[in-house]
A and B are shown apart, each in its own frame.
Chain A
């Protein structure tokens, strides 16, 4: 009844199947619920956000439970997790919860405990000065960014994730600790088109992209990759079989068909695609997953590329900040970012945010036609007059 020590612990490398336990699944959730949650399970009447980061849930039993929510970097050490446990032991009888957006929630049973907890959380800082447990992320705020691994653990990224999240959240911090926006704004980061973070339905999504085609490692490709699988992995059919001058089997890539998705590299390590000048960040906006008011929808690309300017990505951060500020000033109460952009029209979105509209933002992949304006209902902006002038329609 103790965790084992020594190189292999209780595991016997000579006899790997001895006493093997498999297929037991996760721990059952019920034992991890605080008693107040067990008691009021399924009996909740309503909830309220008392202030940024503090929720109260009221049960039909008359019980009230208070939740204090705080941010986390998602990537953390066991030392940090133990500090979370210390707090949970001190205030919450040893219970703690994480949200789907990587926030930490401490649940207590009185407002006095909320105050003490908040004070404690806000006082805890890393030696370099940043908060360990910033309280916020509720209501009409920007809550924690869901993100992927980036250079910390991934073999296919086009940008880093943890650093980008840190840079963006530092700049948008007041929106995490406040509730001043027209509606919640959900940010997400994925470091390549595989989108492990599934950023495609976020209010603002930051996506790592490649812009140079893969390099072919002709010397080893035939040994390290299954060539037919690589060929069939290309969504545009740009990859075909080839031979080197020495007669070795290899591949060739039709560069004008490459859409830089990196799927071939996922299948084959001999086709590296990452590149310092090529890689960067695209910004997508206006997606949502909730069914509330409008239907769930995809985020749309509004900036095709910004550089990977490590470690603080000033270009990306300033663009995101600008979008949030313009949205905050212009949207109606309850209106999500995408609903706002659709109401005012995308031409107005570009005008108001000052983001240049480029040819890269016009879809030319499958089903592109669905995104074309097939009506005379549009608004005039400077972009329209530019076209008129180019067409000789006005002076």
Chain B
């Protein structure tokens, strides 16, 4: 258990590093206070004020660092950060972005992982004439050792802008801004020295992501990291070499609270659930009622909400009204439970998810382009999810096969299901229909009967009909 699919190279920053300690501490606070970048940026400097961390103040630190590094210690323009700030200021002034579409850039053999970007005012901001992004596939649930992060920082300061997103919307570490020339050297060192690959972009499987799961959460109903890692490794070809009609995302949520938003953001959402009973510790229930344990783990500590009221705060809010108090005990009618997590969220020391756990599989979530936003819909109410996940892979591959066959260019799988209808989708995937898949049965009677549904088929003889009915 918990073994990588191939041996991992152990990383030691001291062995990998590019910059000396002296280079890493190459400016003083005094210098920074007096530092002006080469462009006037009054609007951006306004954003240095206020309590929230200022990306402008931070960017200036890097701008100053790059000013002071020796010529042969940065492989792209040392003014890259200053030019970025300058162009951002110009964008505020113009009310329009100054980036062009990018196209044919990437690392050799990969159809994703690099987003090309060029400034449309390179004469003013030569440092960002090229400003390509690299997506780096994050480790499951984004824990790091500083050796890895420091090495990545050195690589990126030396061969790129030194600007990053921790993390991008889909989960990758985003390295923002380098030249075409540096893409391959970066990829070479990333794979050879950091033992680390790129993430997805374009019509690929996008970098899968997962919640914190069993690493630090009591509610994870399956091993989200293990499953996310396994799927990422198993589908490397799909992640790097595009052959889908459009993007495709997996996300792995350990429970119905949905901390990685799979239900809103993934073409296939894996959401942990259970099919036995919620575990109850009646003594702890009494302690909550008596006020000995703070409800919701103290999430409401900032305000006086009065004494905890189990009736008002838990029982009355249960969406299926399946719980009540009886002789001082909390009773849950588990057959009626819809596993919304509310009672568990409020009384985590008294209630826990069941132990017969697995995943619900939902499909089709996406942002609005083109046919409007969608939230994922249920297709498999419950499924065991244990290594090597062959059952899950089979469902995934059936969905892909159908989508690659029937999907139009730039049509997400959720839109395809809308277009062909859920019944057709279920038939192709090989799943029987169930009321769990719908909110309500259809209200219109326009049913697309098929010939085989109807006794005697569709072929009828008009003469036969006329024998009974005059014209």
Residues of A at the B interface (CB closer than 8 Å) are: 1-5, 7-11, 13, 16-17, 19-34, 37, 41-42, 44-52, 57, 65, 67, 71-82, 84-85, 88-89, 94-100, 102, 104, 107, 126-134, 138-141, 146, 148-157, 160, 162-163, 165-167, 169-170, 173, 176, 178-181, 184, 190, 193-198, 200-201, 229, 232-233, 235, 261, 263, 266, 269, 274-277, 279, 287, 289-294, 296-298, 308, 310-312, 333-334, 365-367
Question: Do B256 and A200 touch across chains, with their CB atoms under 8 A apart?
Answer: no
CA distance A19 to B2 in the complex (A): 29
A200-B368, A261-B369, A308-B95 given; A75·B300 CB < 8 A? no
Query: Closest CB of chain B to A43's CB: distance in Å?
Result: 8
Known: A51-B301, A100-B260, A167-B50. 8 other contacts (CB 8 A): A4-B185, A28-B3, A47-B348, A80-B61, A82-B24, A290-B341, A296-B258, A311-B47
Q: What's the minimum C-beta distance from A191 to chain B, rounded to whole angstroms?
A: 9
Q: Does B402 belong to the interface (CB within 8 Å)?
A: no
Specify the chain B residue showing the minimal Cβ separation from A146. Answer: B169
Chain A contact surface mostly:
loop
B371 within 8 A of A: yes
The residue that A139 contacts in the complex, of B4, B216, B298, with Cβ under 8 A, is: B298
Q: Hey, which chain B residues are within 8 Å of A94, CB to CB?
A: 145-147
Report A213 CB to chain B, min CB distance, Å: 15
- Are the CB atoms of A22 and B100 closer together than 8 Å? no
A166 touches B162 (CB 8 A): no
The answer to whether A170 touches B52 (Cβ under 8 A) is yes
Chain A residues, CB < 8 A from B18: 2-3, 5
Contacts known (A126-B54, A263-B370, A292-B345); A78 close to B143, Cβ less than 8 A = no
Contacting pair A289 B164 (CB below 8 A): no
| Interface residues of B, count at CB 8 A | 160
Nearest CB of B to A76, in Å: 6
CB distance B373 to A298 under 8 Å?
Answer: yes
- Shortest C-beta distance, B259 to chain A (Å), equals 6
Q: Is the CB of B91 within 8 A of A151?
A: yes
- B48, CB-defined interface residue at 8 Å: yes
User: Which residues of chain B have C-beta atoms less than 8 A from A9's C-beta?
Assistant: 159, 185, 188-189
Chain A neighbourhood of B217, CB < 8 A = 44, 47, 57
How far is the CB of A395 from the nearest CB of chain B, in Å?
A: 41
Report chain B residues within 8 Å CB of A49: 297-299, 301
Chain B residues whose C-beta falls within 8 Å of the C-beta of A165 in the assembled complex: 52
* In the complex, B191 has a CB within 8 A of chain A: yes
Residues of B close to A95: CB separation below 8 A: 143-146
Asked whether, in the complex, the Cβ of B297 is within 8 Å of the Cβ of A73, the reply is no
Q: Are A17 and B108 in contact (CB under 8 A)?
A: yes
When A32-B139, A151-B98, A170-B51 are in contact, do A178 and B302 touch as well, CB less than 8 Å? yes
Closest to B142 in A: A98
- When A24-B6, A77-B61, A194-B369 are in contact, do A10 and B51 touch as well, CB less than 8 Å? no
Residue of A nearest to B14 (CB): A2
Report how far A311 CA is from B47 CA in the complex, Å.
7
CA of A274 to CA of B236, assembled, Å: 36
Contacting B96 at CB < 8 Å: which of A48, A84, A276?
A276
User: In the assembly, what is the distance between CA of A352 and CA of B399, in Å?
Assistant: 46
Q: List 14 A-B contacts (CB under 8 A).
A: A25-B5, A26-B197, A45-B218, A48-B294, A71-B52, A100-B259, A132-B53, A138-B299, A153-B99, A155-B99, A166-B50, A180-B302, A289-B258, A292-B345
Interface residue stretch chosen among B130-138, B322-330, B448-456:
B130-138
**Shortest beta-carbon distance, B228 to chain A, in Å?**
8
Q: For the complex, what is the distance from the CA of A355 to the CA of B289, rounded to whole Å?
A: 40
A292 touches B218 (CB 8 A): no
Give 7 nearest A-B pairs by CB, closest first: A276-B95, A139-B299, A170-B50, A28-B4, A179-B302, A128-B48, A195-B367
Question: A1 and B218 in contact (CB under 8 A), knowing A151-B88, A269-B100?
Answer: no
How many angstroms from the CA of A8 to the CA of B76 in the assembled complex? Answer: 12
Answer yes or no: B404 CB below 8 A from chain A CBs: no
> Is the CB–CB distance between B51 and A130 below 8 Å?
yes
The answer to the question of B176 belonging to the interface, with a C-beta cut-off of 8 Å to chain A, is yes
Complex-state Cα separation, A148 to B169, whole angstroms: 7
What residues of B have a CB within 8 angstroms of the CB of A184 in the complex?
Answer: 299
Q: How far is the CB of A109 from chain B (nearest CB, A)?
A: 13
- If A78-B164, A97-B142, A130-B49 touch, whether A289 touches B261 (CB-CB below 8 Å) is yes
Please choose the segment from B150-158, B382-390, B419-427 that sits at the chain A interface, where 4 or more of its residues have CB less than 8 A away: B150-158
Measured between alpha carbons, how far is A391 from B169 in the docked complex, in Å?
Answer: 48
| Contact between B137 and A26, CB atoms less than 8 A apart | yes
* Distance in Å: Cβ of A233 to nearest Cβ of chain B: 7
**A1 vs B195: C-alpha distance in the bound complex, in angstroms?**
11
Nearest CB to that of B150 among chain A residues? A85
Whether A100 touches B171, Cβ cut-off 8 Å, given contacts A17-B108, A71-B52, is: yes
A67–chain B nearest beta-carbon distance, Å: 7
Contact status of A263 and B369, CB under 8 A, knowing A3-B17, A291-B258: yes
B212-246 interface with A by 8 A CB criterion: 212, 214-218, 220, 223, 225, 229, 232-233, 236-237, 240
A150 to B84, CA, bound (A): 12
Rounded to whole angstroms, the CA-CA distance of A126 and B54 in the bound complex is: 8
For residue B78, which residues in chain A have a CB less than 8 angstroms away from its CB? none
Nearest A residue to B255, CB-CB:
A291
Distance in angstroms from A104 CB to nearest chain B CB is 8
Given the complex, which residues of B lie within 8 Å of A155, measured CB to CB?
97, 99-102, 117
